[in-house]
A and B are shown apart, each in its own frame.
Chain A
Amino acid sequence: MTKPVSVVLVGGGHNGLICATYLAKSGYDVQILEARESVGGGASSIKFGGDYTVSGLAHILYGLNTKVCKDLGLDISALKSSEPLNTISLQLDGNHITLGLEAVLGEMISSKDQQAYRTFKREFRGYAEALEPLMMNTPPRLKDMDRKDKFTLAKLGWSLRFGLGAKSMREFLRVGGINIYDVLNEVFDNSALKGAVSFDAVLGQHMGPRTPNTVLTYLQRLWGECQDTQMIPKGGMGKISEILEKAAIDAGVKIRTGVKVKKICVAHGHSDGVVLESGEHVEASIVVSNADAKTTLLDLVGAPQLDAMFCNRVNSIRQNGDVAKLHFALNDLPNFKGLSPQELQHRLIVAPDMRYVEHAFNHSKYGEFSQHPVLEIIIPTIGDSASAPEGHHIMSVSASFAPYDLKGGWSDSRRAFLNRVIETIDQYAPNFSSSIVTSDLLTPLDIEEQYNIAGGHWHHGELSIDQSFMMRPVHGSAQYQTPIKGLYLCGAATHPGGGITGMPGHNAAQRILSSGDLG
């Protein structure tokens, strides 16, 4: 047996925790260095307004990978509500539509559209599942392929051709690269239904329904749905991270919080540890970074250690966030027209039609925030009253589009954007604004600062075709490796990308274990 060697993990986000746990379980000595006061990164709970606890950044778990849960013995079932999580798309007239995993309900929805929705979901979940060989493996290189690369490609080909069948594969290849706008216009009649589905294709991205590539982002969203772990976790996303943290500690991972890494040391093209802000030098055989690619390569490693064109590719990664996060502490439950209090435990969205979403996006193309923002609203206190004082509630909102590089800067526009969001919600729940005790707005700039993500992008970079698979984060650094030997990436910047899925962490660990770098 080989002697355990030390691995330093820069950043303890969920992918970092998962990667560390896999490595520790394989017998290696792993240490996580986290800049924040607790691990979890984007999947953590924060306190605000005194007695209110809310998910700081991500607030809905879409698809923590089931293999990861099984491998690491993660039991998250206790955090799940007994009812499956539906999406309710709010309409001004109160005739809301409810989208489930398989069915759509609503007074305005014709039986033709209901049937079309079932077929559409079955078909598209099929495409998403067909991509599984790609998702759970190191993305294969197309040049100088090794056996594993060929095997992954062969499995993908098999899965597309024989898993889907010839007819479905043809359809998949037809829609794979186009936009969700065209596809939904082909499939559905009802504009509210189209708006609701298009919302899922653009959430978290700098994309509107008409942007090419939005079918692929929708499939990635559906891939999460296939994991059957969709939920608004009781106690906030921090509970997920607590479970991950416990699994890591049980596996022998050492975790240090409140220590910010200043520099990744490189000697003779090989990383041999990190230097902390305090000046402390932590030596390690390999360094794994959970941070985004720009932060890792341009700030922590630094351009002088890398090739010029490679640095420019990294610098050109599109990773400016376009979504703001808002938290509201409420002294009364908002009274949404046409919704029972019980229905408020679901995910509420404001995306009444595709034109609304596209117009909201138009603003951000020119450096403005949306005048009529697209919203994802949850009220976690319905299922979990412990997060707020008696009788009070919390509302957590993801608001699109709020560009990172807002024209004129954010400091003068925060209040205006907050008002736009409040006014928008008031249209659906008239008592909302009067019940606000306190509010909290995180622009992408705040996300960058508080969560150490350059650009404040949820996914550490747009999930576009040119930044996916073997090109994620950039070519020359795919497959979890970097040009620096012994330096790996394991965060959302890598394939298959963002969301609280655990897949990048899992794949990175497999890659590191098979690399031979750990002896």
Chain B
Amino acid sequence: MSAFDVNENVSPINFKEVLQPSPFQSRIDEYGIVQEWMSWNGYKTARVFDTLASEYFAIRSTCGVMDLTPMEKYRISGPDALTYLNRLVTRDITLLKPNRVTYVIWCNDEGKVLDDGTVFHLQNGDYRLCSQHHQLDWLLLSSLGFDVTIEKETHDVAALAVQGPTSCAALMEAGLVDIDRLKPFDIGYMTLNGMELMISRTGFTGDLGYEVWTHPDRALDLWDLIFSVKEQGLFDIRPTGLGALDMVRIEAGFIMPGDDFNTAETAVRADRVRSPYELGLGWLVDLEKPYFTGKQALIAENTEPAKQRLVRLVVEGNKPPMDAFLYDQKGGSRIGTIKSCVWSPILKTNVALADIEFQKGSAPIEIWAEIYYQKELEWRATWARCNISKKPFWAHPRSSITPPQKF
């Protein structure tokens, strides 16, 4: 053994290459006209390929394609995989049938949310957990006492999110013939041109959409297959960046751990952590199922009304309420802050996710945002009335119809 063999165990990422390339990188670089890059879990990811507006409307009106490879992916298998997952997350995973996906959150011992993600039941007793942030340490820490294997497979699975009203039609045109049978949260498999594909009807856009998973070696083939449909002039298909994704996910009311609340692992100050109830995710907590981490704390917390809540707000006016403070009346007492907001091009209104105080478990009667904005380099302030939206701002019926309509 030569002295240099040790290098084989070191990450193949060159230290000079600060951001890791995705298996789709050569295509992404080709399409990334504005070269607006950002890091997503250490991967070189486009915030915008071309223009934000065209990418946003690709998702909402035609078909957007986004590289999902940087999403943290963990394979969970072994005899105790199910009991392990059921002890990890707040939802009852025994109800998750093979070839189905479910949205989950998991908490620390104190019942405060660590992260959210999706569990894919691939085959009997074989699961994939996808999460927003790196979770391997918590997953391993939780495995004490369980006969379970946990492998990080972020780098080993390439995936594309194909989202938008024409996503189903476009994918079928590309040869993924049977996908119109998939109900929301279903998983299907197929082999196409020698490519092993897994297709799930899932997404983070609140619209019709699919996620297509394959081996990294075939990543470029998958990309080219999908974009060949565009080249034939049949559908407008555009690569979309994280900027457009952030717009559509706020419209869909999906929260982003780390942006909309401090994850329990990263919070330093004691009052910055949030329970599922405080995030409006109480519906994900099953207090009747067998023990899970944080259950005791959540049972205790559930006896009292939440003191603060993450809510969806529709903000009047056309000024974006970026980072705005919220008050119980114009010039009144401060009751919260805006966490994420966007001017929704399709709804023609400002929508936001905001963390606000609940007095005795009830929402404030009035919520006002104090908005600072610039007009030709001059700062101005204005007040905007905010209304809590019980439902996601954007929820189109086409997202759940099976088989999907052909647009």
Task: Tell yes or no: B293 within 8 A of A by CB.
Answer: yes
Q: Bound state CA distance, A468 and B192, in angstroms?
A: 63
- In the complex, the chain A residue whose C-beta lies closest to that of B146 is A303
Q: Is B294 an interface residue (CB 8 A)?
A: yes
The answer to whether A311 touches B144 (Cβ under 8 A) is yes
Q: Which of B140-166 contact A (CB under 8 A)?
A: 141-142, 144-146
B87 at interface (Cβ–Cβ under 8 A)? yes
Q: Is B293 in contact with A269, judged by CB distance below 8 angstroms?
A: no
Q: Could you tell me if B146 and A304 are in contact, using CB atoms closer than 8 angstroms?
A: yes
When the two chains form their complex, are residues B144 and A315 in contact, meaning their CB atoms are under 8 A apart?
yes
Does B290 count as interface, using CB distance less than 8 angstroms?
Answer: yes
The distance in angstroms between the C-alpha atoms of A335 and B146, with both chains bound, is: 56
- Pick from B87, B88, B141, B290: contact of A312, CB below 8 A: B141
Set of chain B residues within 8 Å of A309, measured between Cβ atoms: 108-109, 141, 293
CA–CA, A269 and B299, complex, Å: 11
Give the nearest-CB partner of A313 in chain B.
Answer: B109
Closest to A266 in B: B291
Question: In whole angstroms, how far apart are the Cα atoms of A308 and B297 in the complex?
Answer: 13
Contact of B109 among A298, A307, A315 (CB under 8 A): A307
A305 in the interface (beta carbon within 8 A):
yes
Question: Cα distance A307–B107 when bound, in Å?
Answer: 10
Could you say which of A266, A304, A476, A483 contacts B145, with CB atoms under 8 Å apart?
A: A304
Decide: A307 and B296 in contact? CB cutoff 8 A: yes
Interface flags for A278-313 (1: CB within 8 Å of B; 0: not) read: 000000000000000000001000111111111110
Contact of B291 among A304, A312, A315 (CB under 8 A): A304
Could you say which residues of chain B place their CB within 8 Å of the CB of A315? 144
CB closest residue in chain A, given B299: A269
Which of A304, A308, A315, A476 has the largest count of B CB atoms less than 10 A from its CB?
Answer: A308
Contacts of B138 in A (CB 8 A): 308
Contact of A308 with B109 at beta-carbon distance under 8 Å, contacts A269-B291, A269-B296, A483-B296 already known: yes
Q: Which residues of A contact B25 (CB under 8 A)?
A: none
Q: Is the CB of A312 within 8 A of B144?
A: yes
Q: Which residues of B contact A304 (CB under 8 A)?
A: 83, 87, 145-146, 290-291
Given A269-B296, A483-B296, CB of A306 within 8 Å of CB of B142: no
- The listed residue with most A CB atoms (<10 A of its CB), out of B109, B295, B299, is B109
Q: Which residues of B contact A476 (CB under 8 A)?
A: 109
Q: Report whether B293 and A308 are in contact in the complex, using a CB–CB cutoff of 8 Å.
A: yes
Bound-state CA distance A306–B141 (Å) is 13
Expressed in whole angstroms, the minimum distance between the Cβ of B283 and any Cβ of chain A is 22
| Docked-complex contact A308 and B142, CB < 8 angstroms | yes
CA distance A312 to B293 in the complex (A): 12
Complex Cα gap A307–B295 (Å): 8
Chain A positions within 8 Å of B141 at CB level? 308-309, 312
CA–CA, A302 to B296, complex, Å? 16
Residues of B in contact, count (CB < 8 Å): 18
**B273-305: contact bitstring with A at CB < 8 Å (1 yes, 0 no)?**
000000000000000001101111001000000
A484 to chain B, nearest CB (A): 9
A303–B141 Cα distance when bound, in Å, is: 11
Cβ distance B232 to chain A, nearest Cβ, rounded Å: 51
The answer to whether B108 and A306 have CB atoms under 8 Å apart is no
**Quick one: closest A residue to B291, CB to CB?**
A305
Chain A residues near B146 (CB-CB < 8 A): 303-304
Once bound together, how far apart are the Cα atoms of A310 and B296, in whole Å? 12
Residues of A within 8 Å of B296, CB to CB, are 269, 307, 483
Let me know if A298 and B145 touch, CB within 8 A: yes
Contacts of B294 in A (CB 8 A): 307
Query: Out of B83, B144, B290, B299, which one reaches A308, CB within 8 Å?
Result: B144
B394 to chain A, nearest CB (A): 36
Task: Name the CB-closest residue of A to B88.
Answer: A308
Min Cβ gap A305→B in Å is 5
Tell me if A311 and B108 are in contact (CB < 8 A): no
**Are B109 and A302 in contact (CB-based, < 8 A)?**
no
Q: How far is the CB of A493 from chain B (nearest CB, A)?
A: 18
Nearest A residue to B145, CB-CB? A303
Contacts of B145 in A (CB 8 A): 298, 302-304, 311
Q: Which residue in A266, A298, A308, A310 is a CB contact (below 8 Å) of B87?
A: A308
Complexed CA–CA distance, A136 and B39 (Å): 57
With both beta carbons as reference points, the residue of chain B lying nearest to A316 in the complex is identified as: B144
- CA–CA, A304 and B146, complex, Å: 8
Bound state CA distance, A303 and B80, in angstroms?
A: 12
Q: How far is the CA of A311 from the CA of B138 in the complex (A)?
A: 12
The docked-state distance in angstroms from the alpha carbon of A295 to that of B294 is 22
| CB of B31 to closest CB in A, whole Å | 42
Interface centre among B108, B293, B294, B295 (most CB of A within 10 A): B293
Q: Which residues of B contact A269 (CB under 8 A)?
A: 291, 295-296, 299
Contacts of B144 in A (CB 8 A): 298, 303, 308, 311-312, 315
Min CB–CB distance B87 → chain A (angstroms)? 5
Binary per-residue interface labels of chain B (51-89) against chain A in the complex, 1 for a CB within 8 Å, 0 otherwise:
000000000000000000000000000000001000110
Which of chain A's residues have a CB closer than 8 A to the CB of B299? 269
What sequence of 0s and 1s flags, for each residue 476-500 of chain A, a beta carbon within 8 Å of any chain B beta carbon?
1000000100000000000000000
- Cα separation A305 to B291 with both chains bound (whole Å): 5
**How far, in Å, is A280 (CB) from chain B's closest CB?**
24
Kindly list chain A residues whose C-beta atoms are within 8 Å of the C-beta of B108: 307-309
- List residues 142-174 of chain A with CB under 8 A from any CB of chain B: none
CB contacts (< 8 Å) of A307 on chain B: these are 108-109, 293-296
Given contacts A303-B145, A308-B144, 12 further A-B pairs with CB under 8 A are: A266-B291, A269-B296, A303-B144, A304-B83, A304-B87, A307-B294, A307-B296, A308-B109, A308-B293, A309-B141, A310-B109, A476-B109
Chain A to chain B: the 6 pairs with minimum beta-carbon distance, closest first: A303-B145, A307-B109, A308-B142, A308-B293, A309-B109, A307-B293
Task: Give 16 A-B contacts (CB < 8 Å), ordered by A residue.
Answer: A303-B144, A303-B145, A303-B146, A304-B145, A304-B290, A305-B291, A307-B109, A307-B296, A308-B88, A308-B142, A309-B108, A309-B293, A310-B109, A311-B144, A312-B144, A476-B109
